[in-house]
Structure 1
Amino acid sequence: MKITKIIIYSFVLLLNLTCLAQNFELGKVSIAELEEKHHPKDTSAVAAILFKKGKTSFEYSQENGFMLQTVVKVRIKIYKKEGYDWANKAINYSIDSSPKESLDFSDAVTYNLVNGKIEKTKLKSDGIFVEKINKYWNRKKITMPNVKEGSVIEYEYAIRTPNKVHPRDWDFQTSIPVNYCEYKTFIPEYYTYNTSVKGFISPEINVVKNSKSINITSKERYKAAGLSPTTTSYSNDTYTYMETVSTYVTKNLPAMKNESFVNNIDNYTSSLVYELATIQFPGEPIKSFATDWNSVVKTIYNYEDFGPELNKTGYFEDEIKALIAPLNSPEEKIAAIFTYVKNSVKWNGLYGFYCEQGVRTAFKNKTGNVGDINLMLTAMLRFAGLEANPVLVSTRDNGIALFPSRTAFDYVIAAIESSNGLVLLDATEANAMPNVLPTRDLNWFGRLIRKDGSSSEVDLMPKTLSNVVVTMSYAIEPTGKVSGKMQRQLTHYNAMLFRNRVNGENQDAYLEKLENENGKIEIEDYKRHNEKELNAPLGEVFSFTGSNLCDVIQDKIYINPLLFYTYKENPFKQETREYPIDYSYPFTDRYAINIQIPEGYVVESVPAPVNMVMQDDLGGFKFLINVSGNMIQLSVQHQIKVPIVASDYYEMLKEYYQKMIEKENEKIVLKKA
């Protein structure tokens, strides 16, 4: 898969900074900042980060040893009402660690300009909220007071955590402009981190080493012979070590703007990632952490809530034995077990590659998180004699797993290794099928883990084309009214997404929406086929009439032959694009249309046929038309053969869509004979 322009930097360069002398401190808001009406480099911005400064350091205490502390200071300008959301800040923090992780906000103030003077409104306790996410995480949120167009807000927050394995990612860029961003890390020589930056903008970097010392108090109890009392003596020792101070600075970063067919804009946002590689204290052996994918997945497999759960089989053995007893082929067993799990245990909506409650409890309660369900599925497939293994996945919302890291993943699915390749399964979604995963899973690559601890990369992106085939016949009356019949057939991902969409939806409500979305047509005789038969193409059939589908001007009728299936506008509007174009899955849209000309009319003109083939055969568009007597036959096909198109092809793709849209919007012209 060709994905270009995703720049990954290893921080080994020593660069000179020219911007550290600038003073960015809380409490020093200027009248000029409050008077500013719009961002000087982006007048469309609803808000902007005037500065954001962060510092992550190791703080030592006698009680807890080294703890990781991150302090962040932020100043934000609100330009428009649409930017009011930037006056709220929510941060998740762990409640499942020892010692406890803490999160505290401070110095939260809203500034406004009133009669030429700066007015300060401080955040009070009623603007701070804590909510429970799950048994592992809480969320603390602040809502800034007295926010108006023109306000400047400031706040500081500090996170203190024992988690030194994966310090929180630092984002330099976001969906609004960032004028100045600075991040410092202070790393003792005992800790080695892998550091990487993703995105298209690299920070300036300055690295220095300082000597630092900590004091440790030791006590020793001593009891002399005989009846002498026990005495306690104290000693203070000073330990000196080297500390690496790294400073990262960016200036004048543009807003990250979403474009069509981007799976997750955060994948391409300029940000910094730290991952612990080794720890070595004086006189102790080196302790390795995440250094490559094999060590990462081996560690995960050994988690109590992961690998050991795959070995538990007693709770399902009788059911699975009876289920597969009459079956012979591996395909039959896969289908039967997959359907059994989907029907037996419902997903509770929680992600995670580890089990939340354990496979036994989830099976008993008939509900579980992703780990509970798909590790259970894997265990059942193994019990049936299939070569099944878990596959770690980073979902689209979580971002692309570019670097070896235990925190890179947030999901797990099952895979069966066979002579015909991998069969991927996710039993959390009722309408999923083998190798037709929920779209949240379609995020480049996953990592398959075998029992022996080895692993391999798994391409999660679909290869099979998902089709939409539309067959339509309609007749045109001299008044311009159109009456016809339509049949639509959907396969693979198109079928799954349609089933998900209509699941539980009232049919009358669906038809009303369908009528409104398609030129206010009126639908009758609606039928749906294979809605529950997942292995069969899903179909819908209906008759329709419409009075707004063509134009009658004097003695001529102008028809858009595709009616309501016409592309109206180009989804690609940017001049240039840095991100890949992510369609999720390859597809073919095919239309076969028969048009009956009204009596007393003849064809004056029809669009010319077109056959466009994309560069490197990435896809293509065909538009063929034929006139025979009082009938017009139209065949149209739009095809994208790959799930992801590299940004190198953006200009070509944009031009392709423009030509396709222009062709689809050309009219058939009828005139009176």
Structure 2
Amino acid sequence: MLRNSLLTTLVLAVVFSIANVNRATAQNWPEVTKADWELTDDPANPGASAIILYREVDTDDKNAFTNTFYRIKVLKDEGKKYADVEIPFYKGSSRIQDIRARTLHPNGQTTDFDGTVYEREVVKARGVKYLAKTFTLPDVQTGSIIEYSYTERWDKIEDWVFRSPDAAFIFSQFSPMFAERWMVQDDLFTKRAHFSFKPLPFALGWTWANLQGQGQPASHKGLVEYDATNVPGFKAEDYIPPEESLKGRVEFYYIFKEAPKNAKDTKWYWQDLADKRAKDVEQFIGKDKSFTKAVDFVGEDSDSPEVKLRRIYTRVQQIRNLSYEPEKTEKEEKRQKIAENNSASEVVKHGFGWGNEINEVFVGMARAAGFDAAMVYVAPRNARFFNPSLLDWSQLSAEIVVVHLNGKDRYFDPASKFCPYGLIPWEEDTTTGFRLDKDGAAEVKVPPGASSDTVISRKGTVELNEEGGAKGSFELSFTGQDALERRRANRDRDEAGRRKALEDELKQSSPSGTTVEVGDMTGWDKPDEPLKVRYTVETEGTMQLGVNRLLFPAVPFPGEVKYFFQSASRSLPVYITYPYEELDDLTLALPKSMRVESVPSAKNNQTGFGDYSLSIENHGTSVHILRHFTMQEGLVPAQYYPQLRGFLATVRQADETRLVFRSDSSAHVGGDR
């Protein structure tokens, strides 16, 4: 969470670079060649629906704009979807202007776009959200070529920043001076691409990755250029690491300070900048005594440290968090009397603050109550992975708090809305960070969460009828990351919207023809309590075997099966973002005319990927089912995919193992079989 709009711009600009910033909003469209019209397939991926014939990028940092140009050829009917264009941007950080587009037809005719450009929110994987300008090119058919260009502009940097590297270095800590990022690899095969970058008047460095067979950027007279040809399209797979860390790319950074002569790596940069940031943070937090009165509420001396810290956490979460409010104009801020906070104590006094300010208040209060606490700047892993070779402080775009409690370091993020005590959002753990305190900065590795932190618990009864129909009543409980994810995704919805979102989620994971109805919901706005949902499920029939037998799955109406893989092979790693557990405690009740004939034997499977156990008790006229599934977090290389897939296949197979029921008097009653 960031203190002011400049810092917010910094983080948003980092994520914006996913938008494949390009060039060429020229008055004249580049010429379409005869070879472009004759190209009918993707040479690297035969059968592709479309290819990028040409893509151009031109960024001018001093004049604060990037021009973009795309030329795409539609090869199959499926490729007509590329007529729907999305141009991502971040409101308040940049502006999209001068959109031009047209459709070229094989018969030589051209249809210019003169329709409406819309603005809507786009939600990507792992909670990454952004706005996009959207429009649809006209009359696109197989064989058509579509072209569009646009300009992205942002506020120019003030002249004083250019007076010296020291001034720029200071400014770079609070604003987007990360230079440029070229995402060279697109989802489609790219026949030809040209990139250019006119940087600010400072020394420049760059890194590149996943560009096998391509050249390197060349710098000449203040302009960096790069040409790429025949770049394979990026083939995404289910549950992969952030695409930005996998695609071919070139990333630039400004150099405001030379590396020490004896430096063997880039640790000096991160340490130096973290030490400077630590001074700013400590100055904002202030002395412990400034919070002496503010922590009178923590309790008696006889209360445990855990109890005291939890009270501080609850108090801090009550501060109005400006980071979750719509951006305000200067007049609105004055009307609402939103003053700038110059210290953590002023945050308490005013009753509002930005996310990082709220976390700094937590540090100050914890220290005043006798705890060893500090801020930690971390690199969130939902949009990209930390790259220490890219000297760009904006990678550390999230702030959490570390408190030494009961002999070990614990991590907290009270500024994250709906985040309960003892948990931090999954994207902020298992990553690199820097602890900032009175003694300077120190690199830390934030540990992963435990599977027991995130539990999906389901308890209920399913009643069968003679026709094989079933009706179930359940209570579903979410804790940890699964509760946090749903609360964050639905925070702007009313009760009806939240109910519909849960019903849609449950229907999506239920068998076809199943009716789902959500009833009571509790805990939406209480992060320290489980998010609970009561719901019913009804289906008309199940599989029959013979005249008097019925089959039913061992785990009826299962929830969403995460990380289920159909493909037998894979080229990219599997990314399991956080560990979790599933607990099922179910009773299956039979009609009076039926008895249990057989139930599957108990299952127990323990692997490095996770654990699974299933036990089924036969009570003659009912069945009691206990299921426990644990999935561990981690990055699973592609070579271990068959083992992971095999483990998850055994889980699904066990869940779908059939119970056998009979309706005649000879049914086996009592005892498992």
- Quote the Cα distance in structure 2 between the aligned partners of 1:477 and 1:388: 59
Query: What residue is the counterpart of 1:294 in the other structure?
Result: 271
Name the aligned partner's letter for residue 30 of structure 1: T
Provide the rounded CA distance (Å) in 2 between the counterparts of 1:593 and 1:70.
58
Residues 314 and 491 of structure 1, relative CA distance in 2, 3 Å threshold: same
Instruction: Say yes or no: does 1:89 pair with 2:61.
Output: no
Tell me the distance in 2 between the aligned counterparts of 1:82 and 1:478.
48
Whole-Å separation in 2 of the counterparts to 1:665 and 1:311:
59
- Once the two structures are superposed, residues 166-203 of structure 1 have per-residue CA deviations (whole angstroms, 9 ceiling, x without a partner) of 21111012333323334456889x955442224x4435
Does 2:377 match 1:392? yes
Aligned mate of 1:672, from 654, 663, 672: 663
| Cα drift, residue 588 of structure 1 | 1.9
Matched residue SS, 2:239: coil
Q: Deviations over 1:110-150 (max 9, x none)?
A: 24127x224374889x9799x9xxxxxx9996968656342
8 A Cα contact 2:88 2:132, kept in partner: yes
Partner of 2:367: 382
The answer for the alignment partner of 1:196 in structure 2 is 207
User: Distance in 2 between the 1:472 and 1:145 partners?
Assistant: 51
Distance 1:644 1:531 in 2: 31
Q: Are 1:174 and 2:177 an aligned pair?
A: no
Structure 2 counterpart of 1:349: 324
Structure 2 partner of 1:558: 551
Relative to its length, the structure with more helix (as a share) is: 2
For residues 140 and 605 of structure 1, the distance between their equivalents in structure 2, rounded to whole angstroms, comes to 56
Q: Which of residues 425, 443, 447 is equivalent to 1:438?
A: 425
Instruction: Check 1:413–1:356 CA distance in 2 against 1; reply closer, same or farther (3 A cut).
Output: farther
Q: Post-superposition shift, 1:273?
A: 1.5
Residues 505-550 of structure 1: per-residue CA shift (max 9 Å, x gap)? 25976886688565645779x66777777556565667x5734363
Aligned-partner residue type, residue 562 of structure 1: V
Deviation at 1:638, TM superposition (A): 1.9
Q: Pick from 392, 416, 433: which aligns with 1:405?
A: 392
CA shift, 1:83, in A, is: 1.5
Query: Which residue does 1:225 correspond to in 2?
Result: none
Match of 2:495 among 505, 520, 535: 505
- How many residues align? The count is 577
Residues 89 and 46 of structure 1, relative CA distance in 2, 3 Å threshold: farther
- Tell me which residue corresponds to 2:102: 110
Q: How does 1:75-154 map to 2 (within 5 A)?
A: 75-77=71-73, 80-86=79-85, 88-90=86-88, 108=100, 110-113=102-105, 116-119=107-110, 121=112, 146=138, 148-149=140-141, 150-154=144-148
Per the alignment, residue 30 of structure 1 pairs with 33
Residue in 1 that maps onto 2:215: 205
Distance 1:582 1:313 in 2: 42
Once residues 528 and 194 of structure 1 are traced to their aligned partners in structure 2, the CA distance between those partners, rounded to angstroms, is: 53
The correspondence of residues 98-497 of structure 1 with structure 2, limited to 5 A, is: 108=100, 110-113=102-105, 116-119=107-110, 121=112, 146=138, 148-149=140-141, 150-155=144-149, 157=151, 165-183=177-195, 192-198=203-209, 200-202=210-212, 204-206=214-216, 247=226, 249=228, 251-257=230-236, 259-262=237-240, 264-278=242-256, 292-302=269-279, 306-311=281-286, 318-324=293-299, 328-349=303-324, 357-358=340-341, 359=344, 363=348, 366-403=351-388, 404-418=391-405, 420-442=407-429, 444-459=431-446, 461-465=448-452, 466-482=454-470, 486-497=474-485
- The structure whose Rg is larger is 1
CA contact (8 A) 2:203 2:254 kept: yes
Aligned AA (2:232):
L
Alignment CA distance shift 1:499-1:73 (3 Å): closer
SS in 2 for 1:254: coil
Secondary structure of the equivalent of 2:657? coil
CA 563–208 in structure 1, closer or farther in 2 if over 3 Å, else same:
closer
For residues 540 and 567 of structure 1, the distance between their equivalents in structure 2, rounded to whole angstroms, comes to 15
Contact 2:291 2:368 survives alignment (8 Å): no
Which amino acid counterpart does residue 587 of structure 2 have in structure 1?
N
Larger CA deviation: 659-668 vs 493-502:
493-502
Structure 2 equivalent of residue 49 of structure 1: 52
SS in 1 for 2:557: helix
- Counterpart CA distance in 2 for 1:400 and 1:446 is 12
Deviations 1:346-395 (A, max 9, x none): 3532799xx99435665556444322322232232233332221121333
Match of 1:20 in 2: none
Output the amino acid matched with 2:87. Answer: K
- Would the aligned equivalents of 2:50 and 2:188 in 1 still touch at CA under 8 Å? yes
Q: Which amino acid aligns with 2:495?
A: E
Distance 1:158 1:501 in 2: 28
- Say yes or no: does 1:657 pair with 2:648: yes
**Alpha-carbon distance between aligned partners in 2 of 1:250 and 1:146, rounded to the nearest angstrom:** 29
Q: 1:598 to 1:89 in 2, by over 3 A?
A: closer
Greater share of strand? 1
CA deviations 1:642-671 (Å, max 9, x no partner) are 354444422211222223223322322223
Secondary structure (helix, strand or coil) at the match of 1:445 reads strand
Corresponding residue number in structure 2 for 1:215: none
SS in 1 for 2:318: helix
Describe the shift of the 1:118–1:357 C-alpha distance in structure 2 as closer, same or farther (beyond 3 A). Answer: farther
DSSP-derived class of the 1:375 partner: helix
Identity percentage over the alignment? 14
Displacement after TM superposition at 1:78 (Å): 5.1
Q: Which runs of 5+ in 1 are unaligned?
A: 1-24, 59-65, 96-100, 132-137, 213-242, 281-287
TM-score, length basis structure 1: 0.70
Shift of 1:253: 1.7
Of residues 548-557 and 532-541 in structure 1, the stretch that sits farther from structure 2 once superposed is 532-541
- Cα distance in 2 between the residues matched to 1:603 and 1:178: 61
Give the TM-score taking structure 2 as reference length: 0.70
Measured in 2, the distance between the counterparts of 1:143 and 1:501 equals 26
Instruction: Check 1:384–1:112 CA distance in 2 against 1; reply closer, same or farther (3 A cut).
Output: same
Inter-CA distance 289–185: structure 2 relative to 1 (3 Å threshold): farther
> Which shifted more, 589-598 or 37-46?
37-46
Deviation at 1:412, TM superposition (A): 1.4
State the 1:563 CA deviation: 1.4
CA distance in 2, matches of 1:522, 1:73: 47
Note closer, same or farther for the CA distance 1:245–1:502 as it changes in structure 2 (3 Å cut): closer
CA-to-aligned-CA distance 1:433-474 (integer Å, 9 cap, x gap): 233123453463333222222222232531342223334444
User: In structure 1, what is the Cα distance between the partners aligned to 2:468 and 2:553?
Assistant: 12
Do 2:430 and 2:445's aligned partners in 1 also have CA atoms closer than 8 Å? no
Say whether the 8 Å CA contact 2:413–2:424 is kept in structure 1. Answer: yes
| Counterpart amino acid of residue 571 in structure 1 | F
CA separation in 2, counterparts of 1:83 and 1:157? 19
Q: Is the 8 A contact 2:239 2:574 kept in 1?
A: yes
